[in-house]
């Protein structure tokens, strides 16, 4: 009806939609200011070697310390950052801050940074990464860029050359949330990824001890290894999952059972002490 009335693409006035739109628009302005005002912060979740229990690195996860809303999780603003193009400066800030922090810790840690499709397709990500490495003094082989399968789905030839350009810098590439997208197998063959991150939804299913679910995860681990990748299990929440994944030969793990994402000071402290949960869960050999 709105269309017939000459309202173009707009549907009839819907207050709920209007509010959602206004909230998004307001948030876009706020987010632009947040970058200028330094309201973004990174938390760091350790990546743990399943065989030794050692922390081998961290994943940087962005949060927004909003003056009135409090700590805003990334899923509430990354979408807006993507649709407004703010993801490019935001992503650059995340990369710089994560590398700066890794260099400050002064150990040979892997630092994983999430890269969104939009960031990957807008502009020259390889040039940005090269500049950030130079600026911060971060060794390229300590940086791991995490991307989802959606990066590999569109405009494949162009995206393949982008991947190759990133690889040429010497950084590692991880496929995040593996198993949740499409065409996973074909893309594994085509794109030179170093790390396969098994989505939390698969890890979740290991709690019940169902043989079929165990076979599924074992198969993903083997698949990753067959393609020369290291495997990381996401979202380990209990000891059953930890034990099962270790038995399957999965290389690394992350999850609340090991550690939640932590502010930088707490993450630095954890590096000194190691993981208490893990020591308790590991029988002495």
What would the two tokens of residue 204 be? Answer: 């979740």
Instruction: Report the residue from 254, 264, 270, 275 that binds ligand C2E according to the rule CB under 6 A.
Output: 254
The one segment of 70-78, 120-128, 154-162, 217-225 that binds ligand C2E by CB under 6 A = 70-78
Contact segment (CB under 6 A) with ligand C2E among 108-116, 149-157, 180-188, 267-275 equals 108-116
* Of the residues 39, 177, 194, 239, which one makes contact with ligand C2E according to CB under 6 A: 177
CA torsion 167-132-138-113 (nearest 10°) is: -70
Among positions 96, 114, 142, 159, the unique one binding ligand C2E when judged by CB under 6 A: 114
Question: How far, in Å, CA of 119 to CA of 259, rounded?
Answer: 28
Of ligand C2E, Mg ion, none, which one sits near residue 116, judging by CB under 5 to 8 A according to partner kind? ligand C2E
Count of helix runs (H) and strand runs (E) in the chain: 12, 10
CB of 220 closer than 8 Å to CB of 202: yes
CB of 5 to Mg ion, least distance (A): 43
- The full DSSP string for 171-226 is -EEEEEEETSSSSHHHHHHHS--SEEEE-HHHHHGGGGT-HHHHHHHHHHHHHHHH
State the residue for tokens 């971060």: 138
CA distance 175 to 243: 23
Q: Is 16 in the site for ligand C2E (CB under 6 A)?
A: no
Instruction: Give the residue, chosen from 97, 149, 176, 251, that forms a contact with ligand C2E under the rule CB under 6 A.
Output: 176
Choose from ligand C2E, Mg ion, none: what does 265 bind? Cβ within 5-8 Å by kind. Answer: none
Nearer CB in complex with Mg ion: 32/49: 49
61 binds, among Mg ion, ligand C2E, none (CB under 5 to 8 A by kind): ligand C2E
């Amino acid at each position: 009806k709105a269309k017939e009335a000459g309202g173009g693409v707009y549907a009839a006035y819907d207050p709920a939609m209007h509010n959602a739109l206004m909230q998004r628009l307001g948030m876009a302005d706020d987010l632009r200011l947040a970058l200028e005002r330094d309201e973004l912060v990174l938390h760091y979740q350790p990546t743990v070697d399943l065989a030794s229990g050692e922390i081998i690195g961290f994943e940087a996860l962005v949060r927004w310390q909003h003056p009135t809303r409090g700590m805003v999780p990334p899923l509430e603003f990354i979408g807006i950052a993507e649709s407004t193009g703010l993801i490019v400066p935001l992503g650059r800030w995340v990369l710089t801050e994560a590398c700066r922090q890794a260099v400050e810790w002064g150990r040979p840690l892997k630092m994983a940074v999430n890269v969104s499709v939009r960031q990957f397709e807008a502009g020259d990500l390889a040039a940005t990464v090269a500049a950030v490495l130079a600026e911060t003094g971060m060794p390229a082989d300590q940086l791991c860029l995490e991307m989802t399968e959606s990066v590999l789905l569109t405009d494949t030839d162009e995206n393949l050359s982008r991947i190759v350009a990133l690889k040429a810098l010497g950084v590692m590439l991880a496929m995040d949330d593996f198993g949740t997208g499409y065409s996973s197998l074909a893309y594994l063959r085509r794109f030179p990824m170093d790390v396969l991150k098994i989505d939390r939804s698969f890890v979740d299913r290991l709690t019940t001890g169902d043989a079929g679910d165990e076979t599924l995860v074992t198969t993903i681990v083997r698949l990753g290894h067959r393609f020369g990748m290291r495997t990381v299990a996401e979202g380990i929440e209990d000891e059953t999952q930890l034990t099962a994944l270790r038995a399957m030969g999965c290389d690394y793990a992350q999850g609340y059972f090991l550690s939640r994402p932590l502010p930088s000071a707490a993450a630095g402290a954890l590096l000194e002490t190691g993981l208490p949960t893990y020591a308790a869960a590991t029988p002495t050999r």
